[in-house]
Amino acid sequence: MSPPRTAKFLDRSTPPHVVTMVALASLAAMSMNLFLPSLPKMTAYFGTSYAVMQITVAGYLGVNGVMQLVIGPLSDNLGRRRVLLWAIVIFVFATVGCLLSTHIAAFLIFRGFQAVIVAALILPRAAIRDLYPTNEAAAMIGYVTMGMSVAPMVAPAVGGALQGLFGWQASFGLLAILGVLLTWVAWRDMGETAARSHATLTQQFRQYPVLFRSPRFWGYAGTAAFCSGTFFAYLGGAPYVGSEIFGLTPTHLGLLFGAPSIGYFIGNGLTGRFAALKGPNRMIIAGVIVTAIGPALSLVLTFVMPTNPLTFFGPMILTGIGNGLVLPSATAGMMSVRPELAGTASGLGGAVNIGGGATLSALAGVLLMEAETALPLVSLMLASAVLSALGIVVVLLREARLSRG
Question: Would you say residue 50 lies in a domain?
Answer: yes
**CATH number for position 75:** 1.20.1250.20
Question: Would you say residue 257 lies in a domain?
Answer: yes
Question: Would you say residue 13 lies in a domain?
Answer: no
Distance of alpha carbon 72 from the chain centroid: 15
CA within 13 Å, CB half, 213: 6
Number of structural domains (the chain) is: 1
- CA separation for the pair 337, 214 (Å, rounded): 8
- CA separation for the pair 333, 328 (Å, rounded): 9
Question: Would you say residue 6 lies in a domain?
Answer: no
DSSP state of 168: T
Report the b/e string of 39-63 with b at 16+ CB within 10 A.
bbbbbebbebebeebbbbbbbbbbb
pLDDT of residue 13: 43
Question: Would you say residue 393 lies in a domain?
Answer: yes
For 14, the 3-state DSSP assignment is coil
pLDDT of residue 111: 92
State the 10-residue block means of pLDDT for the chain, 405 residues long: 42 65 86 83 85 79 81 79 91 95 92 91 79 73 74 79 87 94 88 67 69 84 90 85 84 82 86 83 93 93 81 92 90 78 75 78 80 86 92 86 72
User: Quick count: other Cβ atoms within 10 Å of Cβ 187?
Assistant: 13
For 161, the 3-state DSSP assignment is helix
Cβ contact 27:182 at 8 Å? yes
pLDDT of residue 398: 83
Question: Would you say residue 12 lies in a domain?
Answer: no
How does pLDDT run across 84-123, given as a tens digit for each residue? 999 999 999 999 999 999 999 999 999 999 999 988 888 8
Q: Is the dihedral of CA 189, 29, 338, 135 positive or negative?
A: positive
How does pLDDT run across 211-270, given as a tens digit for each residue? 778 888 889 989 999 998 898 889 888 888 888 888 888 778 878 887 888 898 899 889
Provide the residue type at 359 as one letter. Answer: T
- CA separation for the pair 67, 327 (Å, rounded): 20
Question: Would you say residue 289 lies in a domain?
Answer: yes
Query: DSSP string of 21-46?
Result: HHHHHHHHHHHHHTTGGGHHHHHHHT
pLDDT of residue 198: 61
Cβ contact 377:234 at 8 Å? yes
User: Quick count: other Cβ atoms within 10 Å of Cβ 239?
Assistant: 28
Query: DSSP string of 227-267?
Result: HHHHHHHHHHHHHHIIIIIS---HHHHHHHHTHHHHHHHHH
Instruction: Give the residue among 149, 65, 47, 72 at the shortest CA–CA distance from 112.
Output: 65
> Which helix (H) or strand (E) segment is 323 a member of?
helix 316-336
Full residue range of the structural domain in which residue 315 is found: 18-403
Query: DSSP string of 89-151?
Result: HHHHHHHHHHHH--SHHHHHHHHHHHGGGGHHHHHHHHHHHHHS-HHHHHHHHHHHHHHHTHH
